[in-house]
Structure 1
Amino acid sequence: MSGRRAMERIALIIAYEGFQEVEYAHTRAAVEEAGINVQVASDQVGVAHSANHELSVSVDVLVEDIVLGAHDGVFLIGGPGALEHLDTNAVKKLLQRAYEQGLWIGAICISPRILLKAGLLDGKRMTGWNDDKVLTALAPVYGAEYLEQPVIIEDRIITAEGPAAATLFGRAIAEVLAIERSL
């Protein structure tokens, strides 16, 4: 995928209200440190706000306007607003199309639940925020195996636990794109 551009580019999708600031900031820093361009997408245009309102981020594009051919991956950031703002047909269809087109996809924190509901984790191992134990019950319903690990990479999909794993999530994104670039 990355052979068509000199530099990799990913879309980070955040909730317009209530994204997790550490997950966003650390993931973005790790991928940008590796020389990857980031386009921020959300369910609304304007300035998105983190859950604690300590971080505001300009949204580059609406989810439905993301041009998949201009990206190497599409990744969801978690936070308390993620299920309210991102658990939509538009986001699920975008992720399904991205995966079908051979792009990397992924999610951190509560957002892997959206990958589950989109049918993208059937037969795969996955991780995510599970303090409420919902993933333990939800994963098998969608044919996935939940594991308590910081990051899991499987079949062009990266899932991560939460804020403490955000840098690892970003590094995993950078590493898989670097490997792909070298092929």
Structure 2
Amino acid sequence: MADEKKVLIVIAPRNFRDEELTEPINYLMQAGISYDVISTTCGLAIGMMGGEMPVEHTISDLNEGDIAQYNAILIVGGNGAPEYLWNYRPLLELIQKFDKQNSIVSAICLAPAVLGQAGVLKGKKATVWNDDQAIEEIRKGGGIFTSSPVVVDGKIITANGPTAAAAFGEKVAVSVKNL
């Protein structure tokens, strides 16, 4: 179906934050929005709380045609985000492609730092986990840091951590549904 809504979810292969994945997925499913989960490597990704997510495709596997089928990208945080996702060139390029196609670009917890690194936050308000280095990445990328739990600025949606996961998931699902 041409009008089917779809979200690409990016997680770290280790130590992604479980509820930052599961809560948004719950809202996407309730809204009838499909999703795919990718990472930097294939295999079984393991969350900080022990949750497991099978990953069949990597960020590097995607081509332009693949990207065009998605309405949004959602990047999950957790302790694994700085290690596996920050400064990861294929992810930064992927974020830029989503931004260029005017899709929703969203990230939670420590993951919004990659939005700053990708250069998509210039002049945009964004939030991130209360971590000096993560906040600095937002600012270095031209973003305006705010400490609100969830921030929506145009098609950029950010959230500051696991306690905001449900509200973040709801905002992403509603935004995608309204495209």
- Fold shared per TM-score above 0.5: yes
In structure 1, the partner of 2:110 is: 110
Structure 2 gaps, min length 5: none
The aligned residue for residue 89 of structure 2 is 89
SS at match of 1:149: coil
Q: What amino acid sits opposite 1:93 in the alignment?
A: E
Q: Deviations over 1:10-47 (max 9, x none)?
A: 01100011100111111111111111111000001111
Identity of matched residues, %: 29
> CA 1:145–1:61 in 2, change beyond 3 Å: closer, same or farther?
same
Instruction: Look up the SS of the partner of 1:29 in the other structure.
Output: helix
**Cα offset, 1:138, TM superposition:** 4.0
Give secondary structure in 1 for the equivalent of 2:95: helix
Residue of 47, 50, 59 corresponding to 1:50:
47
User: Structure 1: where are the runs of 5+ without partners?
Assistant: none
Which residue in 2 is equivalent to 1:168? 167
Equivalence map 1:89-168=2 (5 Å): 89-130=89-130, 132-168=131-167
Aligned partner of 2:61 in structure 1 is: 65
CA contact (8 A) 2:115 2:138 kept: no
Q: Quick check: 1:6 aligned with 2:7?
A: no
CA deviations on 1:56-114 (whole Å, 9 max, x unpaired) are 10113211223111111111000101111112000000000111012111100000011
Equivalent pair of 2:15/2:46 in contact (CA under 8 Å): yes
How large is the RMSD of aligned CA atoms in angstroms? 1.4
56 and 136 in structure 1: CA distance in 2 versus 1, 3 angstrom threshold:
closer
Is the contact made by 2:116 and 2:139 (CA closer than 8 Å) also made in structure 1? no
TM normalised by structure 1 equals 0.90
